[in-house]
Amino acid sequence: MIMYRNLMYICFRKEIALHLLMIKNMKNSQLYKGSLNTIIMKLLEENGKMYGYEITQKVKAITSGELNITEGALYPALHKLEAEGILDVEIEKVDNRMRKYYKLTEKGTTETVNRLSELEDFIRNMQSLVNPSPKLEF
């Protein structure tokens, strides 16, 4: 619980902190994969457009290096969201190379709100199940 609170303060972003904490503690890869898309969408909602490497670094920074999104998980997630029309792609020339930026589409923005709400419900329910609040009976 203390760690949970610390992470909340570090992130300054209540929702991202919650999601990342859940992912960090998840040993089940299915749950991890399910939440990764929402995390990406949330980050893009806050930052406008981002590129792959930037996303991995942002997550690392938010969690103080405790969570690493592997390239093998990140790119398939980005490509799937792109194919589903949730993300749009913009190619820009940066320094001496091309860079592929991802940003939310209109559909993606709406979907982000829905998925965040679903994830919050999930976290709340899990919290209630794992750590039920004591009954105040005298």
Partner 1 sequence: MKLTQEQTQYIFDYVSSRDIKWYELQVELTDHMVSSMEEIWEKDPELTFHQVKQYAENNFTGDSSFKSIEKERTEILGKEFRKEQWKMIGEYLKFPKIFASIIVVFLTFKISLYFEEPRKFVAGLFLFLIFVAIPMVYSYYKNRKIDGNRFIEIEKSNPLTLLFGGFINFGLSLGNVFKEEINEYALVLFLFCCLWALTVLCLITGILLQNKTIKRVKEQYQLN
Q: Could you tell me which residues come within 8 angstroms of residue 116 by beta carbon, excluding any fewer than 6 positions away?
A: 15, 38, 41, 42
Q: Is 107 in the site for partner 1 (CB under 8 A)?
A: no
Both tokens assigned to 20: 């990342």
Dihedral pair phi/psi, residue 89, rounded to 5°: -120, 140
Binding-residue pattern over the window 75 to 104 for partner 1, x denoting contact by CB under 8 A: xx--xx--xx----xxx--xxxxxxx----
Minimum distance of partner 1 from residue 83's CB (angstroms): 4
| Residue span 14-53 as binding mask against partner 1, x where in contact by CB under 8 A, dash where not | -------------------------------------xxx
In 3-state terms, what secondary structure has residue 26? coil
Query: Cα–Cα distance between 87 and 103 in angstroms, integer?
Result: 5
Residues that bind partner 1 (CB under 8 A): 51-54, 57, 70-73, 75-76, 79-80, 83-84, 89-91, 94-100
